[in-house]
Structure formats: C-alpha cells, structure tokens
Amino acid sequence: MAMFGKVEELFGLVQPASRLRRGLAIFRDYQAGRLPEFNKVVAGLSPGDKAEITIEGDKLYAILQCYQPKPRDQGRFEAHQRHTDLQYLCEGTEWIEVCDLHAQPNLPPFDAKGNVYFALGTAAHSRVRLVAGNVAVLLPNDAHAPCLRVEDAADTLVRKIVIKVKDGHLGQCAKNPR
C-alpha cells in the first residue's frame, strides 16, 4: 500500500534496519544539507536530464531528475517486480496516480529489467498531489503514474530524487540483506 507525506513522518513508520528506512534517511540528509553532491547534481540538471547515483549497487540507488510535468493523456502507469520507489520532490508540484497492479486486467508482461508499463485509461484511480518536501513510497504492487501536470499549478519544473530500493517491501533487516 502506497504511503505519502513528509519524510520525517514516514521515517518513523518503517523498520529501523530496513533499506526503506535507509532510503528515507537519504532524504533527511538531503533536507539537512548533508549531501552536497546530491544538491549540486539536482540544481545542475536541465529539463529532461537524469543522473544516477549508486549507493548499494542494485539494492539501493538514486535517480535525480528534472522535467516539465506532462498532461495526463501523456502519462502511463509503471510498476516494478522487486523495487520500491521512494519519490521525493525537491522542487515543483505534480500528481501521481496509483492503482493496485494486481487488479488490472490484460497487463503486459514485465520487461527484462522487471518493469511493466501500461496506459492510464479513463478509470478512476487514487491521485495524490506532491509538492516540494513530500515523498511517495510506492511498493511493487502500487502501479503508479508520476510526473503528471497539476492543472492549477504554475507551469514550473519538477526536480525529484527517486530512491530505488530492491526488495524493500519484504522487511529484510541489515543482518540478513538480500
């Protein structure tokens, strides 16, 4: 089940030894100015640019992005077999639509990287407005369509950090990492 809110609120809800908590701790460090390399990369991105920072190989890594949110009709759902997304907005505002992956009919197969993509369609889905300082925790069964334009918001850029956490939904602990 997806969670949305302030980093500090969500930090207290996850297991202390989990990679999810380590991912949220990265956002805490970013907010406190303890990650100058993240700040420098995020601030230097041009619209459409992405940068990846490896933290623990495929188990925990960051994707830093800058983009113009897109109209809903250009959006699509995505879901990941083994990765949980921690999506943090550094700047801007956007909608994220979320639906239960397993409740969707006629899904395409996962690709070689463990991702699946499909159209938003016209069905009603949960929709959350993220603003700077908010984080979305999206588990593998949470199909999500991020990067959607907020109709009443200024047409501004979004700067975002996405932490990808492999098997974070399984509740592993530091003594037994996968």
| 16-63 pLDDT, tens digit each | 989 999 999 999 999 999 999 999 999 999 999 999 999 999 999 999
Q: Is the pLDDT of residue 172 over 60?
A: no
**In the prediction, which pLDDT does 124 show?**
75
Rounded to whole angstroms, the Cα distance separating 168 from 87 reads: 14
91, 159 Cβ separation under 8 angstroms: yes
In the chain, the N- to C-terminal Cα span, in Å, equals 22
Q: Is the pLDDT of residue 13 over 70?
A: yes
Q: What one-character DSSP code corresponds to residue 145?
A: E
**In the prediction, which pLDDT does 171 show?**
56
Categorize the per-residue pLDDT at 177 as very low, low, confident or very high, splitting at 50, 70 and 90: very low
Rounded to whole angstroms, the Cα distance separating 62 from 90 reads: 13
Rounded to whole angstroms, the Cα distance separating 82 from 23 reads: 15
83-91 and 134-138 as β-strands: parallel, antiparallel, unpaired? antiparallel
**Cα distances (angstroms) measured from residue 69 to each of 92, 98, 155, 158:** 9, 16, 8, 7
163, 27 Cβ separation under 8 angstroms: yes
What one-letter code names the amino acid at 153? A
**In the prediction, which pLDDT does 156 show?**
83
- Per-residue pLDDT averaged across 148-169, rounded? 89
Rounded to whole angstroms, the Cα distance separating 32 from 36 reads: 10
Categorize the per-residue pLDDT at 175 as very low, low, confident or very high, splitting at 50, 70 and 90: very low
**In the prediction, which pLDDT does 144 show?**
97
- Per-residue pLDDT averaged across 146-159, rounded? 89
Burial class (CB in 10 A: 0-12, 13-18, 19+), 97: buried
Task: Map out the domains of the chain with their CATH numbers.
Answer: 3-168 (2.60.120.370)
